[in-house]
Structure 1
Amino acid sequence: MQVVLDYLTQYAETLLRDYRDPYHGTPLFFDGCELHSKQAVAWKNTDGRIWQPSNIASQQNLFRFFVGLSNITQDPKYKQAAQRVIQWHFDHADSSGLIRWGGHSFIDLKTLDSVGPENKNMVHELKHHCPFYELMYETDAPATRKLIKAIWNTHVTDWQQMAMSRHGQYGLEFDELSVWDKPKQANLSPLREMKGLSFVNIGNDLVFSAGLLYAMDGDEKALSWAEHLMSQYVNSRHPDTQLGCYQYNQPLKTGDAPIDEHHPQYTFSFWGDRAQRQFGPEYGDVAKEAWVLFKADEDALNGPEGIYGDSALAQTLLARDLGTKGVDAKGKQLLDWTTQGLETWAKYAYDHQTNEIKPMFADGKDLTGHRIPRFGYYGQKGQELIRRPLPVHVFLAYVTNWCESKSEALWPSICAMAQHFGLGNWQTRQDAKFDGQSDPLLLFASLEMYRTTQQAFFLALADQLANKLFEQTAHQGLFTPSSEHIYCRFDDVTPLALLTWIAHKNGTYNQIPVYRSRGGYIHGDILLDNGEVKNIMDVKFIYEQKTTKKTH
């Protein structure tokens, strides 16, 4: 264990020494580096400009690791380094209080310019980020209050209808003192037609930010809006199954779709509900975007995993922060909503025998083997809808929720998931043996179970996962998924997971910031060395590259 802590400490020292702004003396960090050359990761724009990204949205798990390391080692410099970055961004916020954030924009450390690929580079974006607001608040409470209110102000486009967009404008002025005083519209119709797309990946972040503002600052009005927003998703679940939903509105039709399937706007939401257009003639009224519980594109960030993985984890942890026990438990309603959703999805969609997710609409009918009837937003004509392996982040969401809710309905599914992930028999809890590919989220899940049950089985399991994870990922003083991977991503959750394990071993787990999401990314067009322009996400393209297939 000491060997791991020494390595983590040296890793942090390397980042502080070698990967902060070398050009201007700011406290900003690069996003990552090449394992062998140790050069900072670069992004080549389509016009040939080479940027060196510093994206604070892609550094939140790094900051959690820094804070935990300072708490464990009693050396404040790591936490202070994170706080200096946060304060720099607050000092350079726009007039509304927003900081440069999201998948379409970042700081180029060579110039300190705000840059970004494709035509979305001036938008503020949130997408399952769950920022480290606690450290922001500790660093500058007034700026954090203003930031959260500015986020709601720019992403909620119609407070009466709760219309929203995951792309927000910078510089929208508002009255900070009265932002929450807008009247709420009660009894809004589920799946109402309106402009915008109320994707859960933005709604989740809005609920999280307002709920956490209450937890940090006692802002009752913020909590009220968080509950009001969350209720829109709950009220739009399928009335018979209570499955869903990915969004609580249908996109308002503003025109007729192009006839040519090759038209660049053919799959846009301007032409009405895209699921209804693509599946309606065959599947009827259930074919709505809100009720799609499958994804045809493996690389897409949408799908049921967004509802029952990313969102469910964040909501459960927020409920824990707000309190779920006692008469005045502010988080009890949020926990119940989340638990009910997880129970229902496990009932309809999870295959205990294969550890796979069944594709379906929210009516619960298994669509395995069905083929997409026509081209559209959800895939190509004739494409088969298949079952997909349960992702590990969904497993963590289920485990964390069970630890807070103790739902008897969830337990058999969780035990089946654990068995399939090679984590042994959680029913008998004997002979904790792990033989497989470790994952930081499996380690978090085992530690969550140990924290809740205090049973030695789960700590012994965590020991094996941690040792295997360290063996897999610790290379040349840095962390990569394997020795074959080319790039080290500084927001990699592995250091935080290993530090959390050490803290559990020492009985000081409450000194480590809680893992809440997989972090940020950069998304857009990049110019490859061969002259090809490719639309990528850095987390799926740059940081997944291996030595055997280097293309960037």
Structure 2
Amino acid sequence: MKKLMMVLLIMISSLMVSSKVFANGPTIPYTEADYARLNAVIQYVENVLKYGHEYNEETNLLPDAINTLTGEPARWTFPNRAEVPYANLANQQNFFRTLVALSNVTGSDKYKNEAVSILDEFMDNYQSPNGLFQWGGHRAINLDTLEVQSFEGPNGPHELKNMMPYYELMLEVNEEAALKFMRQMWTAHFYWNSTDMNRHGSYSTAYDVNVFGQTIPEDVIKMDTNGNPIIPADSPGLLPFVNSATDLAYAAFTLSNHTGDPIPADWAKYLMRQYNLASNPTTGMTVYQYKSTLVTKSAIECADPAYTNSGCGDRVARQFRDFGPIAREANVAWKNTQAVYVDNILMLLEAADKYGQSEFVDWARQYIEGYLKYAYIRVDGRNKIIPMFIDGTVTYGYIVPEVGYFGPSRMRLDYVDMPTSYLLPILRTILQTEKAENQALLWSYFRDIVYTFGLGDIGSLGGANPNLDVDTSIDDPFALMAMVELYDHTKNKAYLEVARTIGNNIVTEKFHRGFFVESEVMLYSRLDQPDTLALLTLDAVIRGISLDDMPFYLADSGYIHGYLLSNDGVVEDRSYTQNMVYTKTIYD
């Protein structure tokens, strides 16, 4: 009976698809397979809402992930064995985008209204007096008590790293709270007098309505006599990681766009320019941070190589000292590359497209062209990354002599798999680059990478004469979004047909027990997964809905980091949800 009711729900949902979503006139036949994909998304959303709301009916908030066997929320097990179900809205931004996208393609306001009600409760009840929201890497809402829960000691800090909140909807729901938060991001995370930046922000930092009223200082990065950037080693542990800078910059650009005040955008440009100035003049590759840490700990503490607190100076300089001055944490091009060459570039391109920062397209092309020219390689038919520093100094095969921040002693550096998420920044950079001669090199790399991922030949620049694998087994949301955006740009239906195949594969391989999971055996369905948003993007272009009218994918980097009980049930550990919670299977 339960299964019959679900089938009826799906049929009703299909019938509810309003004719107004075809207002521009469908130029592509809408098939049964297209309906099946949409219905999978509808069933998933309905299940998330049903089970998420059932757990605690006193709140509209939803858990970050749902147990697909029981319908229970995911829980964090603390060292004292307390099991806490959690709602961290910084980690649910793609679900809110999915809800709005589903309303767009169905013509029903039901799903957007759900997003509005959740955000309305959160923004009204869980904003600190200083303006920061109770969310991020170290804080969430306990769904049992509806109180703020810290995961990093008794008073976890505010932390966003490539989470890219859905500000458009937040401004619609509670404009005052959203504007206050965007200003306070800078008050709490950026140190104006020293130009240091901290990924952690304090909830005790007083709100400053005039946070952008100070004079923009000189650039942090200076050049030596050979034209190479000088990375200052004067940060007292407050390192300007680019994955925090993206969130700061995105908030400031959105603030300027909404208020008409250009000053926050000027500060955002200043911040992102430091990474550009610190990029290598020969390779074009950019940095993870534009400062190194100052030594603030004692010589006794720092004598132990296993002590990796940043107060002992640059952690790469300590562990990779064989490589000389280039060995700095800022210059590593084999770790945190997703943050530098995917999320960072997607933010730059979004700012260029929406907020007129046209020079960001040139920066994005410089970074990713250099990265692909020097660090990309195909090995045994797979896309790989060569471990190196950003000046092109290869570290492949190096055996690390002693333990440190980047791994254990005797560790041998090997090639790193290139994830499919790289498809989007490469393609979007190409599509936002105006001149064909500037697109050509990136297209050649993109063509090789797409082929190696198993999608066939995308053809020559502009989408002419593709020879795509319409029977591809790829079930990847980034490949799907790339094919959809290629079709939207070229109108070559070959890309659309491959996109449909990928979408069908996603539903076949990842839609289980009424939820989207990474594979059939995975226990938890994570709300921030990008698959449903990708499927709705495909549905939109088939219906003739402009992608400009759809929520745009920017990141799915949400996490919780803190203290917990290891899976052995004995050892106290400090780790991430992605390592300790979302790796669990239905057999654990």
Superposition TM-score, scaled by structure 2 size: 0.86
- Map 1:68-83 to 2 at 5 A: 68-83=101-116
Q: Structure 2 residue aligned with 1:342, among 352, 364, 368? A: 368
For 1:106, what is the secondary structure of its paired residue?
strand
Equivalence for 1:304: 337
CA contact (8 A) 2:55 2:72 kept: no
Equivalence for 2:235: 194
The yes-or-no answer on 1:209 pairing with 2:246 is no
The yes-or-no answer on 1:48 pairing with 2:81 is yes
Equivalence for 1:161: 194
Equivalence for 1:300: none
Structure 1 residue 544: Cα displacement:
2.6
Distance 2:273 2:490 in 1: 32
1:151 partner amino acid = M
CA contact (8 A) 2:563 2:572 kept: yes
The yes-or-no answer on 1:464 pairing with 2:501 is yes
For 1:154, what is the secondary structure of its paired residue?
helix
Residues 1:419 and 1:109: Cα distance change in structure 2 (over 3 Å)? same
Equivalence for 1:433: 470
- Map 1:100-111 to 2 at 5 A: 100-111=134-145
Divergent runs of 4+, >4 A: 259-264
Structure 1 residue 381: Cα displacement:
2.3
Cα deviation code 1:438-473 (max 9, x no counterpart): 111111111111112221121111011001011111
Structure 1 residue 504: Cα displacement:
1.2
Cα RMSD (Å): 2.0
Structure 1 residue 70: Cα displacement:
1.3
Equivalence for 2:309: 268
CA contact (8 A) 1:30 1:41 kept: yes
CA contact (8 A) 1:424 1:434 kept: no
Cα deviation code 1:239-289 (max 9, x no counterpart): 43332201001111123444687687x111111111112222x21111111
Equivalence for 2:24: none
Equivalence for 1:479: 516
Distance 2:568 2:332 in 1: 38
1:424 partner amino acid = G
The yes-or-no answer on 1:546 pairing with 2:585 is yes
Structure 1 residue 351: Cα displacement:
1.2
Q: Which shows bigger deviation, 214-223 or 198-207? A: 214-223
Equivalence for 1:384: 412
Equivalence for 1:415: 447
- Map 1:80-479 to 2 at 5 A: 80-92=113-125, 93-119=127-153, 121-156=155-190, 158-176=191-209, 178-189=210-221, 190-192=230-232, 193-195=234-236, 196-258=238-300, 266-280=307-321, 282-295=322-335, 303-322=336-355, 330-352=356-378, 354-405=382-433, 407-427=439-459, 428-479=465-516
Residues 1:160 and 1:408: Cα distance change in structure 2 (over 3 Å)? farther
CA contact (8 A) 1:227 1:334 kept: no
2:579 partner amino acid = K
Superposition TM-score, scaled by structure 1 size: 0.92
Distance 1:39 1:261 in 2: 47
For 1:27, what is the secondary structure of its paired residue?
coil
Residues 1:422 and 1:379: Cα distance change in structure 2 (over 3 Å)? same
1:246 partner amino acid = Y
CA contact (8 A) 1:72 1:511 kept: no
- Map 1:20-31 to 2 at 5 A: 20=53, 22-23=55-56, 25-31=58-64
Structure 1 residue 98: Cα displacement:
1.1
Identity across matched positions, percent = 31
For 2:141, what is the secondary structure of its paired residue?
strand
Residues 1:333 and 1:537: Cα distance change in structure 2 (over 3 Å)? same
Residues 1:21 and 1:106: Cα distance change in structure 2 (over 3 Å)? farther
Aligned length in residues: 531
CA contact (8 A) 1:352 1:413 kept: no
Q: Which shows bigger deviation, 84-93 or 116-125? A: 116-125
Distance 2:365 2:257 in 1: 21
Q: Structure 2 residue aligned with 1:516, among 529, 546, 554? A: 554
Cα deviation code 1:496-517 (max 9, x no counterpart): 1111111111111333200110
**Unaligned segments of structure 1, at least 5 residues:** 296-302, 323-329
